[in-house]
Amino acid sequence: MKLKPLADRVVLKMVEAEETTKSGIILTGAAKEKPEVAEVIEVGPGGNVDGKEIVMTVKVGDKVITSKYSGTQVKIDGEEYTIVRQGDILAIVE
């Protein structure tokens, strides 16, 4: 099954948190921070949304940072995804 977002929506998959710190300490499952960076899986077409013309600036494969509690979580074929509006994306990680 494939997700195809509508309007200004973007499908994201969270990137796994690092299992070791910069100094080489291995973290247990409980000590890992919730991942903040996500990868763009699918992008909607943009267009006229709520009377405003929306041009999509993110593309598939981009790494992005979103608002912490934004979006809707869905699980498809055992994979977890988050669907957000492009406006909920705070930055593209380069």
What domain range includes position 47?
9-17+27-93
C-alpha distances (whole Å) from 66 to each of 30, 77, 82, 92 are: 22, 24, 10, 9
The answer to whether the CB of 91 falls within 8 A of the CB of 66 is no
2 in any annotated domain:
no
3 in any annotated domain:
no
Q: What is the pTM of this model?
A: 0.80
DSSP letter assigned to residue 16: P
| Torsion sign, CA atoms 83, 85, 90, 94 | positive
1 in any annotated domain:
no
61 in any annotated domain:
yes
Q: How many structural domains are present in the chain? A: 1
pLDDT at 87: 93
22 in any annotated domain:
no
| pLDDT averages per 10-residue partition of the chain, 94 residues | 93 77 63 71 94 95 90 94 95 93
pLDDT at 63: 96
CATH number of the domain that residue 32 is part of? 2.30.33.40
pLDDT at 15: 85
pLDDT at 80: 94
pLDDT at 50: 87
